[in-house]
Amino acid sequence: YIAIGRQEGADLAFGGEPLDRETRGFYLQPALFTQATNAMRISREEIFGPVANVIRVKDYDEALAVANDTPFGLTSGICTSSLKHARHFKRNSEAGMVMVNLPTAGVDFHVPFGGRKGSSYGPREQGRYAAEFYTTVKTAYTFAG
């Protein structure tokens, strides 16, 4: 994806280099692209690696439209001091997990985890929803008269 981002015209502003570590594995320095557009693969596909990009927009409405213009919807986030925008974003973001002024990874274990659109598969298996999903309700009466 680092090579794809460069080929598509995004500017690799930081990182993206393989790292050697004492423990054998596949390590990559976090990468940040600027000058990205929403048409680029690095913006449209779920990379699941330390790769992020910046897409410049003119205002909140365009930002929300760009964020929702994807076949995926695992998580989304906004950094804002506007309670109006925060509330609107939480209601209108097309993602399974929505953050305001927080990282979009590392959610609490007791809440349902999952996305929407192409980022979802099966039931949300965390939180009280898991208990409800795996519970069969039965009503039983006993008269001890």
Using one digit for the tens of pLDDT, what is the confidence trace for 37-67? Answer: 999 999 998 888 999 999 999 999 999 999 9
Asked if residue 105 has pLDDT above 60, the reply is yes
Q: Is the dihedral of CA 10, 51, 61, 114 positive or negative?
A: positive
Kindly report the CATH number that applies to the domain delimited by 58-137. 3.40.309.10
Asked if residue 8 has pLDDT above 80, the reply is yes
Tokens of 76: 């989304």
- Residue 131's pLDDT is 67
In the chain, where the domains are located: 1-56, 58-137
Residue 85's Cβ-side half-sphere holds a number of Cα atoms within 13 Å equal to 14
Asked if residue 87 has pLDDT above 70, the reply is yes
- Cα dihedral angle (12, 14, 16, 20), rounded to 10 degrees? 160
Name the β-bridge partners of 28.
Answer: 18
Distance CA 54, CA 40 (A): 11
- In a 3-state reduction of DSSP, which class is residue 35? strand
Regarding pTM above 0.75, the answer is: no
Which has more confidence, 51 or 112?
51
